[in-house]
Structures are given as C-alpha cells and as structure tokens.
Amino acid sequence: MTGRPPAPLRVAMIGHGFMGAAHSQGWRTAPRMFDLPRAVEMSVVVGRNPETTRRSAEKYGWLTSATDWRAVVERDDIDVVDIVASGEAHAEIAITALKAGKHVLCEKPLANTVAEAEAMADAARASTGLAMVGFTYRRVPAVQLARQLVADGKIGAVRQARAAYLQDWLSDENAPLTWRLKKESAGSGALGDLGAHIVDAVQFVTGESLTAVSGTLRTFVHQRPLVDRAVGLTGTASGTDLGEVTVDDAAIFSGELSGGGLATFEATRFAAGRKNGLRWEISGSAGALAFDLEDLNVLEYFRFDDGDTAGFRRILVTEPSHPYVAAWWPAGHMLGYEHGFSHQVVDLVTAIAAGKQPRPSFEDGLQVQRVLDAVERSSGDRARWTSVG
Amino acid sequence: MTGRPPAPLRVAMIGHGFMGAAHSQGWRTAPRMFDLPRAVEMSVVVGRNPETTRRSAEKYGWLTSATDWRAVVERDDIDVVDIVASGEAHAEIAITALKAGKHVLCEKPLANTVAEAEAMADAARASTGLAMVGFTYRRVPAVQLARQLVADGKIGAVRQARAAYLQDWLSDENAPLTWRLKKESAGSGALGDLGAHIVDAVQFVTGESLTAVSGTLRTFVHQRPLVDRAVGLTGTASGTDLGEVTVDDAAIFSGELSGGGLATFEATRFAAGRKNGLRWEISGSAGALAFDLEDLNVLEYFRFDDGDTAGFRRILVTEPSHPYVAAWWPAGHMLGYEHGFSHQVVDLVTAIAAGKQPRPSFEDGLQVQRVLDAVERSSGDRARWTSVG
Amino acid sequence: MTGRPPAPLRVAMIGHGFMGAAHSQGWRTAPRMFDLPRAVEMSVVVGRNPETTRRSAEKYGWLTSATDWRAVVERDDIDVVDIVASGEAHAEIAITALKAGKHVLCEKPLANTVAEAEAMADAARASTGLAMVGFTYRRVPAVQLARQLVADGKIGAVRQARAAYLQDWLSDENAPLTWRLKKESAGSGALGDLGAHIVDAVQFVTGESLTAVSGTLRTFVHQRPLVDRAVGLTGTASGTDLGEVTVDDAAIFSGELSGGGLATFEATRFAAGRKNGLRWEISGSAGALAFDLEDLNVLEYFRFDDGDTAGFRRILVTEPSHPYVAAWWPAGHMLGYEHGFSHQVVDLVTAIAAGKQPRPSFEDGLQVQRVLDAVERSSGDRARWTSVG
Amino acid sequence: MTGRPPAPLRVAMIGHGFMGAAHSQGWRTAPRMFDLPRAVEMSVVVGRNPETTRRSAEKYGWLTSATDWRAVVERDDIDVVDIVASGEAHAEIAITALKAGKHVLCEKPLANTVAEAEAMADAARASTGLAMVGFTYRRVPAVQLARQLVADGKIGAVRQARAAYLQDWLSDENAPLTWRLKKESAGSGALGDLGAHIVDAVQFVTGESLTAVSGTLRTFVHQRPLVDRAVGLTGTASGTDLGEVTVDDAAIFSGELSGGGLATFEATRFAAGRKNGLRWEISGSAGALAFDLEDLNVLEYFRFDDGDTAGFRRILVTEPSHPYVAAWWPAGHMLGYEHGFSHQVVDLVTAIAAGKQPRPSFEDGLQVQRVLDAVERSSGDRARWTSVG
C-alpha cells in the first residue's frame, strides 16, 4: 500500500437542468461525508448555451464548462461521463462515451426506445468503461434495507406487489401544455417518467423481474393551453389557443413476477394531493414491507412471527447500522431527496475503484425499458397480457 | 295524526351465521338509538338445524325460531325477510319472499351468478315489497360524507379511483382448505367476497358506474390441507391430504367509469399484515378523498383551493352534524364495524315507512354482479377490456 | 352441575342521561355477544321526571321505570345497582345500596370529594355486595393488551409516562356557560372529568400508583355567555349576559410513580382539533407502548430487542386472541366507544358470579380521587410537589 | 450598482465535531442552491489537534486549518466566526470575536450559565459585528410556515402549547457514562441539550416568551459503566466500574406564556423508540398547529373555520411557495436535517449584507438560557412556579 494515491476520477456532466443540480449536489457532497476509495474532480459541465452553462458551472461547482459534448467525452483527462441531458440524447452520448472507454452514469429512463436501450447495453458490454443507470431511489436507506430483508427471506415468498407513483400537477385541466406533454420531446408521459421508477423499485426490492404485463395508458385532458416559446416548447405565443396532449396522463398496469407473484402499478399525474407519492408494498408468505417516498426515512415491516403483537413496524431507517446512514448524522436525523445522489456517487466510485459492474447496470435499465414497452404494446391491444422483451 | 300508531314491522331472518349475528345486532340496536318511523319486531330466525337455530334465537334476541324458510316467508305476520343465508340460496329465498309481497333485505353479493341476480332484480321490480341489498359499508358515516362531497362537486370531475380490499388470512400456504376456497360452495374467491365491496364503494361514492373492465384472477396456492368434516366442508378426515383450491386468491382489475375516469381494484387474501383493509382514494380535478376501513371514523379530504396550506384533512367523522352520528355519542367517540348494520336498519325501515325504494336496490346489486362477471370473462380472455353487462 | 340455572342478575340503573344510554347499550349487548355466567335482567331505570324516565325505559330497553331511587335500591328483587346519576349523588346512592347488600357499579369519578370517596370505599369494604367503579376505558382491548405486556415485563422498568386527554369544545370563547363550567354542579372542570381517566389509565397500565404530584389548574376564559334555564342551569334568560366560569379549563400535572418513574398529564378542553384525544405513552427500559382513544383499535409497541428492524409496531388489536375480541367480529373489524360498556358488564357479571372483587374497585376509584385532590392542593400552592393521600 | 462585486465573507469555524460537519455542509451548500447577496469563503477551521483538524479541513472543504482560535479570531482577513466548540468555550470565543468586530454565529445553547450568556449578549450589543445563535430547527420550512400562520392570526389567541423532545439513547441502564452525563463537561443533561430546542421552538412559533416556569429534573439511572479514556472522558480503563451520572436524564416543566397561555415541556433521553422526536402542538382559539421533527417536511394545521370538513391538514411543506423551498427541488421532494444549516447560512449572510440584526439573536439565546435556569431553580424548590430572569 505504498506509492502514490490513485489519481482522482475526473467527471464530465452532460446537461445542467434540475437533474444537473441534483447530480452536482451528489458529486460535491459524497466526498465530504463518505470515505471514497478514489477522489473525485468535478471537471467540466457541458450545455448548449455557453453563457448559461458557464453560470451553472460556477453555481454547481464545476471547474469549467463547455458546449461540445463530443469533444469533452473524448478528452483523455475525463474518466466519468455523467449524462443528465434529455432522454432522446442519452443513447448517442452514452455510446460515444463507452466507445471512448469512459465510465458512464446515465439518468433514467435509459432511453426513449427499446432499440436505443439495447444499443446502449451492447455498448456497455463491449466497453472497458463501466456503465450505470441512475435509479437513485434505490439508494434511499429504507429501500436498501427492504431489499436486504427480502433477500434474507424475512417476508418469505413474494406473492404480490402494489406500487404507485402519484403526482397531481396535471389535475387542473388548465395546466399548460409543456414539453413533457408532447411525445416528440418527452417520449412518453407518466409511464416513462414515473412508471420507470416503480418498475425498477419492485424488481429491485423483490430481486425478481417482470415477465409479462397487462396495461392501459390514458389521457384525460386532450387539449391544453399552449405556452409561449419563451417558457416552453410549443412555438406559439397565445395563451388561449389549445394544443394536443400526445402522451399519457396515467398508466395503470399489472405484471407477473418471475417468482410467480402478481404486481400492480399505477403512474399518474392526476392524483390530487399527492406530490411525489412513490409507494409500494410487497406482500410475502411470511410478512410484508411498505414504503412511501413522501416519508422516505421510514420502512414499514410486518412479520407474522410477531404473533399476538404483530403489526407493521414503523422503522426509522436512520440508525448507524442502516445502509449509508453511518456517514451522515445521528439516529433520528432525517435524510432527504438528494442524499440518494450522494449515495449514487459512493456506489459508482466504489465500483469503479474495484473494477466491478455497478448496479443498476445498463442491462437493468434495458429491462425496465422492455417492461414499459410491453405495457405500451398491451395498451394498444386492449390491455391483453403481453410478454416482456 | 290521530289514531293508532303503525304496527311494528315483523322481521324474519333467514340464516344465523356470522352475518346473522351482525344483522341481529343491527335490528336490536337501531330502535334503541334512533327514532325509527316504525317499530321493529324480531319475530323469527330460520336455520336448518332446529337446536342451533333455537339457541341463536335466544342468543341474538329473536322471539322464535323455525327451520322451514318457505313457510316463514309466506306467513301473513311477517313483513320483512332478511336473508343472511349462503350465497347460492339468495335467489330462491328472495324471489319467493318478493312474490309473497314481503320487503327483502339480502346480504351481498346479491347472488352467485348474473342470471340469478337478474331474476332477483326482476322479482323486485314486480313486487309490492321493497328490496335492498346489504352493502353496509355504504353506511359508514365517513363514506356517506364522501358521497355528499363528491355530489356537491367538492372534488370536481372524477379522474381516477384506486380501491383495494386487502386481507391476509391465506398468506400461509398451510392455511386449510375451507368451504370459501371451493367454487361449488363459495361461487368465487376474493373477487366475489371482497371485490364486490370495492366495486360498490367506488360506484356509490363517485355516483358513476363501471362500463368496462380488464382483469386477472389468480390462485397462488393451488393445493391446501384438507380439513376434517367436523370443522369444515371437505368431507375427509385427514390433516395431511391436500385438496384443490378452486377459487381465486386475488383479483386485480381496472375499470372505466361512466364519467370518463379510470379505476383500479385489488381484492386479495394474501396481503400480509392487512386484516380488513378496504381502502379507496378518489382523485378529482379539484380535490381528492381517501378512506380506510381499518380507520373507519376518518375521512381524508384534499382541496386544491386550500392553497399554500392545502394538505389532506384528517376529518374525524364523529360530529353530530355528520351522517348518522347524532344518534350515537358525542364528538370524538368512535363507531365500529357493526354500526353499519344499525344504519342499514334505519335506512330500510325509513324507506319502507315512506314507501320509497331503498338503496342499494337489487338493481344496484345486479350492476355489481355484472361488473364481477365481466372481470371473470376478461380474466379468461387474458385481461382484455370487456364491457360490463 | 344439575339443578336449576342461577337466577338472572336483576339490575337497576339510577340516572338516564348520556351515560345511561351507554350503560344500557352495555347491559343489552353483553349477553348477546358473550357467554355470561349469569343472565341479566334490565329491571328498572330510575329518574326524577316520571315521563322522561318512562320514555328512557322504553327506548333503552328497561322493563320498568321509577322515580324513587331509595325504594328501588332496597327492593329485594334487585341485585345490582348501576349508578349513572351526576357526581354529587354518587356517594349517597352507592352507600345506601351497599348497605342493602347490593352489588354496585358506579360511574367515574367515584365522587366529588375525597371524603365522599372514602366513605364509599368504607361502605364497599363493609358490604356483602361487590363494588366497581366505571373506568370503561380500561376495557378497550388495546388497553388490556398493554396492561398484559407491561405485567409480562415486555417494556422493562417503567421510566416515564406521558398522558393527555385533549378536547376542544371550549376553544371558542363564546361557547356557553353550561353546568359543566360551574363548580357547584360539576365539582371540577377538566381535572375531574378528563384527568380522572388519564390518571386511571397510567396507574392501570403500569400497575403502579402515583405517590406525589405537582400541578396547575388554569381557567383561560373567565366569563362566558349565560344560557337560558330551558337549556342549561344558569337561571337567566339572556343570551348576552355573562357569567363566571368557576372550574378549570385545563389541568397540567406531573406525578411520581411508585416504581420510581415520572409521569406527565394534561387534561384540557382547549386543544383545538382534538375531540376525544385520550393518549398515553409508557416508556420503559426495554420498550414502549402508546395508545390514542381516537384510534382505539390500535396499540403501538416498540421493543429494543427488535434490533435493526425495531420500530413502533402498529398492532390492530382485533385478533380473536386479543382480550374480549373473540366474542365480536373477525380480525380487522373495528370496535367502537361503547364496546367498553359491554366489556364492563362482562367483567362485573363474571366477578359477581365468582364472588370475587371486580376491578377497578372503589379503592381504586378512591386512589384516583386522592391524586386529583393532591393536584388541586398543589395548584393552590404554586405547583409544589404534593403527596397523594 | 456598478463597480466591483462585494468581497466574499471569509469564515472561520471554531470546532470540528459532529456540529462542525453539519455547519460545513451548510457553508458549502448554501451558495450552490441559493442566490446569496455575498459570496462565502470557507477560510479556516480551528481545532486543538493539528492533525485531526487538518483532516477535517480537507474533508469538510475548508481552505486551511489552525490550532490557535485567538489568533484566527483576530485576523483581519476573517469576517465571520462560527463557533461549534463545546458549550463551556462559547462565551470566551464569542466575546473575543465580537470585540474584534467579527460577525458571530454560535451554536446553541448559547452558554452553560446565564451569567455567561448575559456577557455574550452585552458583547453583541456593543460590537459592530452581528451575532446569531444557532437554533437551526427554526429554519425548517414547516416551522417557518407555522410561525407565519400564527403571526397572521390563523389560529387565534394561543391558549396552550405542548412540546416534547424525546430521545431514547439512555433507556438501557448499561449505556456508558459519556461526557454528556457529567455536569462538569456538559453543563446539564436533557434540559440544556434538548430543552433549549423546545423552549426556542415554542417561543419562536408563538411569538411570545415564557415568563414563569415550574419544573422537575430527574435522573433515573444514577450510576453507569465508566468508559475508557480512549473513547470518552472518564479517565479510567475499566468496563465494569461504575461512575456517577451528574446531570438530568429528563426534564419536565410547565411555563406561562406572555400572552396568557400555558405550555408544557418534556425533554428526555428515556423515551424508548423515539430517536429525535422534537414535537410540538400549539392550540389556539381558532385552530391549531402540530409538528414532529421525525416527519419534518410536514406541518399539521387545524382550523375551526373548515366546519364539517375540519380536520388536521397534513401539509407537505415542499411547495415552491413555502419558505426556503424554491431553491431546492420540486414539490414533494423531501428535505432533511442538514438543510436547516444551509438556511441558517442564507439568513446570516442576508442579514450581514443588509446590516441588519439576524434572529435568533444572542438576546434570544439569553432568554432561552434564562428559562432553563428558572427550570433548574424551580426543580430545586420542589417544582414551585418560578419567574424567568
């Protein structure tokens, strides 16, 4: 263990919107709270507009900014490419970076189509770089603990899962037609944006995969007020004209788990009063687990073995013995949304230092993509059960 | 308003199992707590076994007992026939009673088949007697309040409903093969037993009906230990032999609401830790309502209009101004499961006294039956969306 | 076991207000749901006004009514005297009944003064009748389970108790001056009405007694609108005149438990939004228990021994194995406020049939009275710690 | 507004334990998420041990480290002194820094004695520097919203407050005798550590001050196992020897609010199952507010004006319109414990840039100190009500 310490991992982040802020917070904070096996350098952030990108660099703590992602991705002095650009750009950037031997972290959903996701997984397999997709909600301590409990057999055989991701920002039929409501810009609606998270959550926590699905996509409000180009994507100036909504407002689907269980899913932007309600409950033969992202420091856990005093235990997952927690604050001190991004950095850097495949891999991301695709095909076929992949 | 008070309504109850105990509690208690427009006489309880029926009469407070339901139903001194016998007997008893001009209260589900339910609804239409089906969970004050709020437009247009009825008594794969798990005795499994309740709940609270469904029935554990004839229905003595489960363990389905909304349903006996978890949430364009039978004195209510201080209000539905409550205890004093049976008596007796059709009518019960039937047909057709009725 | 069955216990109830309705519900229902060792006959209800008492008899199911409690209490054909008259009448009626050898059930608080309560306890000791005081909240299954868990050492040594009884009906300063707000009619305010319950709850669940207290009584609103004689007690007709509030609006106190622990109490009618919020939490060296009467089917239970998955268990106390529950409905079917009155009847009749002292005894009621008295003395002495009794 | 931007505020942090990590997180993050009116430079961290201090500087992001706080505090190139050293050092450092004209942020409690706190408040008054005490729990968005609602009269006149700070790490009687359990090192026990927070919370949210208190301090476990010098403060090596606990395990007290209301407080380290349970509920004549730090993104709010649909609203305080939130994530994305430290930096830097007194001031911190002192005096006098200050 003599010799020089390993050089820091030099990171380029492509994109700098809301997700860029969250990823930056992760890159900045992880080395301050955890003992990482490699140091990290926030080398460069890349965006289209040189001025706003420069300001983001300064604001979020990147050493430099740039506008040409291709040039950056091929620089010798970049080790990790972190992709937070919009979905349709993921495949090209990730594949280019992997071909250049870079390690890649790509925001979810992996791509807008299965074909793209397959190409990305192929590129990951062929590369010397390691690739990870950014399902950060896996990194919530309560979710990690749930995964461990299932893996340890604590709830027995998984019989059912019920998962929902409930938001409400479209409940008002006069909410404007933003880019997220157009297929050409967003790929899909609630299904891709929210459904991807609950599919990953159920597959991750159960350790199983969905093999077939039956689903329905629904748009409740078909026309919405156009917004000005200045604030959106629609290209018109009028506040009274209406435009077509071309993605789903809600997606509901059922799935078969590889272990024989049955899962139900709901992804919606019409659940009045639910702001970021990612919830799931896993029912097994020996017990159950339940989680709600709006109460993210808590895992609920039921065991038949508790007998006469059985009841869902409200576990505050903030003990030093719980996943990730020892690096933060004492017991009972709450963690928040962005802690997952620090944990993501910890896990990625640890995997890179060890030369091991980080999870969720691009293969994992592709599997989620295939599930979403099967839901869409099922919906077109009047909800008939449809095989995944 | 001079003259003699009206004669009491003389009630015969057919059946005397668990539901008989609950109905008896309703008949005994309603006149003690409410001011009914007609007095009630608990005249006779009918069962197959003379000795156990006699004991039930004594225990539950019926004046006499009998074994021949046909004779009882046609007695001149009986006004109301309350059917709590097992499902396959509902149609014959109800139709006979209605033909005899009696008022009929029939436990849910109305019948084991749509054809039977149709015959019952026809008989009700043709009779001078009034007929009601026993969805008592409508009579929980919180549920009534919810109905009023929806009807008053407080949550705007109904976009989505998510309903589940979660129990866990089959989670253990060694739970015995009781009569409830055989199609010949129970008709169906979770679908008919639990699904009927959540279908009625969503239709009642929204004031809409389900027009099409897509669903899946699933049996997780196909064989279970036979139970002795002494304690069950299977006719064998062995504790180690296994028998076939011939009904569904769980039923999951989606439905289209007549107003354009989308509803999801789950009925299961495999939800570890959930004992009688009938839950629903109705999301509208202006707000939302949520209910859980395991916390039955509470209605949760969200309104966008509350602005910066909007949040689900946890309404304790125990104020004198709330439905049914004034007859009971002061604010904050909890009601329980069986209060619904008293409320059912109040509503039935009030309707009879006024000569008005009580709700839920047999027509309402038939509609629920049609929904369940469509779910079953859809399940056979790989979950394809299927019209109701 | 040959010979005639024992004669039924013949009950006289003295008083017929709100508490009379609740006690009647208990007397009527207990024999229908439980197997009592003695039958019960609701013989006579006693009140001042012959007409309203007669109507109460009819309504609540008593065979006859009467106006002279003394005559009734000494009738040979009365076995049990159930006292639900107002507090200042308790002592005289109870002592007379006990002297006549009757069994007595007396509503809480036992009396308006310690002297009266002592005389009652003396009378009980001297009588061949058995005497019980009506702290029905002890009979909630969750509370019984809590008592068992503490007695079994499941939470270790009791360190602290925090108890509150929160109501809000005086929050509005224009709420009228009813008889409950005058010392001459009510004895005390929140302290006697609500404080008695939480003192009994903590002593019962811990199995310990309070040995010293420090407390403060407070009246926030000193004058309130007088109410008409027709609807209240004040003797004036005006709605704008104000009268003096002469009891406490809130009582806060601390107590030393005989085992060395420390307890805090709050009884108030000014806790906006809390309707009947009797809550307590008992913290021990090995775990904790928590209860809330507004969610009365639930007991929360924490055990350090649960290790990494420790968390408050939300136990739905509705399993057949839980206290009292087997007589009622299946698991998950909620009980309500009045079930405690049935349980009280069960326990009283069982004790009488066995010739054993029922609990809480008059001695127990006296002990609560002494605690309340010590609180009042402490309050007069600027909250100094004051010995009980 | 032309000319050079203002120079960054140069910060020295004195101390680098757990609180140092939290403060560092605040200094690092605030400028990344908020638009501060002055830039911030994390100039130097000061500790006794040069090596561990150097490592903390590197880890937490300080430019340099030092060991002589006096020298640092008087450096011309330091603008702000952030004191996170242990309590007994607060006064000397703060007063020295204020005399040197520095701005000072001092962790709570302000000092170990009222005399020290008075000297600090005097020094603050006399200085050109601005002084703030670090009650960061004021900076939780839900708490700020609560303050606004009370100030806007939404709950009417404050009648009662009930506050508790519940932890459980001493429940086990074999928990070791750390420095926090010795008066010489910790000043006091639960009272100073936890009680200070709830006193500040109630005074802040109500906008009132406590004028008199009645309280009791209690030590449940008087002797605990000594810990090795290596891991603690006791100076012995044995694990079986016992030492004296010389601070309070729990403090319970009542207080009079300047507006006529009554408040109750409990601070304890013996509340099994409660990890960081800082809770309060404020009851007013028109409504109520409730908060729990273990669910810190939520404020509960009751209004009588909501009439028949009144119930505690569970407000998720994560909307962009809520205090501090716009700078973070979208609605429904949870904040955690350390966000308060960023908000503290925002408020301090904003006050400095504007030349205005930040709150809580040293005067505010002194007032809390006086309350704690009065509790201690009252406890010595058998809980007699004792004036504050």
pLDDT in tens, D34-90: 999 999 999 999 999 999 999 999 999 999 999 999 999 999 999 999 999 988 899
- Determine the average pLDDT of the residues in B284-291: 98
Q: Which superfamily does CATH assign the domain made up of C142-387 to?
A: Dihydrodipicolinate Reductase; domain 2 (3.30.360.10)
The confidence band for D11, taking pLDDT boundaries of 50, 70 and 90, is very high
In DSSP terms, B65 is beta-bridged to B45
| Chain A touched by C309 (CB under 8 Å) | yes
Mean of the per-residue pLDDT values of chain C: 94
| Chain D touched by B354 (CB under 8 Å) | no
Question: Around D302, how many Cα atoms within 13 Å sit in the side-chain half-sphere?
Answer: 27
In DSSP terms, A81 is beta-bridged to A12, A104
Which residue of chain C comes nearest to B277, CA vs CA?
A: C332
When CB atoms are compared, the residue of B301, B309, B319 closest to D315 is B309
> Are the C-beta atoms of residues B233 and B154 closer than 8 Å to each other?
no
When CB atoms are compared, the residue of B164, B173, B268 closest to A285 is B173
The confidence band for B35, taking pLDDT boundaries of 50, 70 and 90, is very high
| Chain C touched by B59 (CB under 8 Å) | yes
- Determine the average pLDDT of the residues in B320-325: 97
| Chain D touched by B34 (CB under 8 Å) | no
- Asked if D334 and A61 come within 8 Å (Cβ–Cβ), the reply is no
When CB atoms are compared, the residue of D308, D311, D322 closest to B314 is D311
The confidence band for C237, taking pLDDT boundaries of 50, 70 and 90, is very low
The confidence band for D30, taking pLDDT boundaries of 50, 70 and 90, is very high
pLDDT more than 70, % of chain D:
96
User: For chain C, what is the radius of gyration of the CA atoms?
Assistant: 21
Report chain C's terminal Cα–Cα distance, integer Å: 47
Token duo for residue B145:
């309040």
| Chain B touched by D147 (CB under 8 Å) | no
| Chain A touched by D318 (CB under 8 Å) | yes
> Are the C-beta atoms of residues B309 and D315 closer than 8 Å to each other?
yes
Q: What is the ipTM of this complex?
A: 0.94
Residues C104-127: tens digit of each pLDDT: 999 998 998 999 999 999 999 999
- Asked if D266 and C162 come within 8 Å (Cβ–Cβ), the reply is yes
- Asked if D332 and A276 come within 8 Å (Cβ–Cβ), the reply is yes
Distance separating alpha carbons of residues D263 and D305, to the nearest angstrom? 24
Token duo for residue B231:
């304690």
Question: Around B268, how many Cα atoms within 13 Å sit in the side-chain half-sphere?
Answer: 32
Vertex A365: Cα angle to A361 and A366 (nearest 5): 115
Which residues of chain B does C319 touch, with a Cβ-Cβ cutoff of 8 Å?
275
Which residue of chain A comes nearest to C302, CA vs CA?
A: A313
What are the φ/ψ torsions at residue A100 (nearest 5 degrees)?
-85, 5
- Asked if D149 and B309 come within 8 Å (Cβ–Cβ), the reply is yes
Which residues of chain A does D22 touch, with a Cβ-Cβ cutoff of 8 Å?
329
Which residues of chain A does C309 touch, with a Cβ-Cβ cutoff of 8 Å?
145, 149, 301, 313, 315
- Asked if C332 and B276 come within 8 Å (Cβ–Cβ), the reply is yes
Q: Work out whether strand B80-83 and strand C80-83 pair parallel, antiparallel, or are unpaired.
A: unpaired
Q: What is the pLDDT of residue C239?
A: 58
Vertex D287: Cα angle to D284 and D289 (nearest 5): 85
Q: Work out whether strand C103-107 and strand C80-83 pair parallel, antiparallel, or are unpaired.
A: parallel
| Chain C touched by A331 (CB under 8 Å) | no
Interface test with A, best of D32, D165, D269 (most A CBs within 10 A): D32
- Asked if D332 and A277 come within 8 Å (Cβ–Cβ), the reply is yes
Q: What is the pLDDT of residue C238?
A: 52
Which residues of chain D does C383 touch, with a Cβ-Cβ cutoff of 8 Å?
214, 254, 383-385
Neighbour count for residue C132 (Cβ, 10 Å): 25
* Angstrom distances, CA of residue B113 to CA of B86, B89, B125, B209, B371: 13, 11, 19, 19, 11
| Chain B touched by A189 (CB under 8 Å) | no
Q: What is the pLDDT of residue D249?
A: 97
Neighbour count for residue D296 (Cβ, 10 Å): 26
State which H helix or E strand residue A56 sits in.
helix A50-60
Does the pLDDT value for residue C3 go beyond 90?
no
Q: How many CB pairs under 8 A join A and C?
A: 48
When CB atoms are compared, the residue of D59, D296, D332 closest to A275 is D332
- Asked if A383 and B250 come within 8 Å (Cβ–Cβ), the reply is no
Does the pLDDT value for residue B231 go beyond 60?
no
- Asked if A304 and B172 come within 8 Å (Cβ–Cβ), the reply is yes
Write out residues 238-297 of C within 8 Å (CB-CB) of D: 250, 252, 254, 260-262, 264, 266, 268, 270-274, 281, 283-288
- Asked if C301 and A312 come within 8 Å (Cβ–Cβ), the reply is no
| Chain B touched by D323 (CB under 8 Å) | no
Does the pLDDT value for residue D237 go beyond 70?
no
| Chain B touched by A167 (CB under 8 Å) | no
Domain made up of A9-137: CATH architecture = 3-Layer(aba) Sandwich (3.40)
Q: Which of C119, C139, C205 has its CA nearest to residue C346?
A: C139
Residues A119-156: tens digit of each pLDDT: 999 999 999 999 999 999 999 999 999 999 999 999 99
Mean of the per-residue pLDDT values of chain B: 94
Minimum distance, in Å, between the CA of residue B20 and any CA atom of chain A: 28
Token duo for residue A372:
């979403």
Q: What is the pLDDT of residue D1?
A: 43
Q: What is the pLDDT of residue C184?
A: 86
| Chain A touched by B338 (CB under 8 Å) | no
pLDDT more than 90, % of chain D:
90
Sign of CA dihedral D232, D234, D240, D246: negative
Q: Could you tell me where in chain B the CATH 3.30.360.10 domains are found? A: 142-387
Q: What is the pLDDT of residue D212?
A: 97
Does the pLDDT value for residue D295 go beyond 60?
yes
Q: What is the pLDDT of residue D239?
A: 57
Q: Mapping DSSP to helix (H, G, I), strand (E, B) and coil, where does residue C304 land? A: helix
Sign of CA dihedral D149, D155, D160, D164: negative
Q: Could you tell me where in chain D the CATH 3.40.50.720 domains are found? A: 9-137
Cα D173–chain centre separation:
28
* Angstrom distances, CA of residue C199 to CA of B334, C253, C368: 21, 10, 6
> Are the C-beta atoms of residues D95 and D29 closer than 8 Å to each other?
no
- Phi-psi region at D167: left, alpha or beta (left = phi > 0; alpha = psi -120 to 50): beta
| Chain B touched by A379 (CB under 8 Å) | no
Contacts (Cβ under 8 Å, ≥6 apart) of A341: A22, A23, A25, A26, A29, A136, A139
> Are the C-beta atoms of residues D262 and D278 closer than 8 Å to each other?
no
Q: Which residue has the higher pLDDT, D231 or D310?
A: D310
- Determine the average pLDDT of the residues in D127-137: 97
Question: Around D29, how many Cα atoms within 13 Å sit in the side-chain half-sphere?
Answer: 27
Does the pLDDT value for residue C138 go beyond 80?
yes
Q: Which of A266, A288, A294, A290 has its CA nearest to residue A280?
A: A290
> Are the C-beta atoms of residues D113 and D87 closer than 8 Å to each other?
no
Q: What is the pLDDT of residue A233?
A: 38
Interface test with C, best of B317, B338, B341 (most C CBs within 10 A): B338
Which residues of chain B does D331 touch, with a Cβ-Cβ cutoff of 8 Å?
none
Which residues of chain D does B306 touch, with a Cβ-Cβ cutoff of 8 Å?
313
Mean of the per-residue pLDDT values of chain D: 94
- Determine the average pLDDT of the residues in B279-308: 98
| Chain A touched by D219 (CB under 8 Å) | no
Q: Work out whether strand D298-303 and strand D312-316 pair parallel, antiparallel, or are unpaired.
A: antiparallel
The confidence band for C233, taking pLDDT boundaries of 50, 70 and 90, is very low
State which H helix or E strand residue D50 sits in.
helix D50-60
Q: What is the pLDDT of residue C236?
A: 43
Residue type present at position A141? P
Q: What is the pLDDT of residue D235?
A: 41
- Asked if B216 and A281 come within 8 Å (Cβ–Cβ), the reply is no
Q: What is the pLDDT of residue B6?
A: 80
Q: What is the pLDDT of residue B232?
A: 40
Mean pLDDT by 10 residues, chain A (389 residues): 76 96 97 96 97 97 98 97 94 98 96 95 98 97 98 98 98 92 89 97 98 98 79 47 95 98 98 98 98 98 98 98 97 96 98 98 97 97 95
Distance separating alpha carbons of residues B140 and B293, to the nearest angstrom? 9
Interface test with D, best of B301, B305, B309 (most D CBs within 10 A): B309
- Asked if C332 and B28 come within 8 Å (Cβ–Cβ), the reply is no
- Determine the average pLDDT of the residues in C231-244: 60
| Chain C touched by A2 (CB under 8 Å) | no
| Chain B touched by D174 (CB under 8 Å) | no
Which residues of chain A does D335 touch, with a Cβ-Cβ cutoff of 8 Å?
336-337
- Determine the average pLDDT of the residues in B204-221: 98
> Are the C-beta atoms of residues B331 and B112 closer than 8 Å to each other?
no
Q: Work out whether strand D64-66 and strand C298-303 pair parallel, antiparallel, or are unpaired.
A: unpaired
> Max Cα separation, chain D?
70
Q: What is the pLDDT of residue B239?
A: 58
Which residue of chain D comes nearest to A26, CA vs CA?
A: D29
D360 preceded by a cis bond (ω within 30 of 0):
yes
| Chain B touched by A232 (CB under 8 Å) | no
- Determine the average pLDDT of the residues in C189-218: 97
Minimum distance, in Å, between the CA of residue D366 and any CA atom of chain A: 26
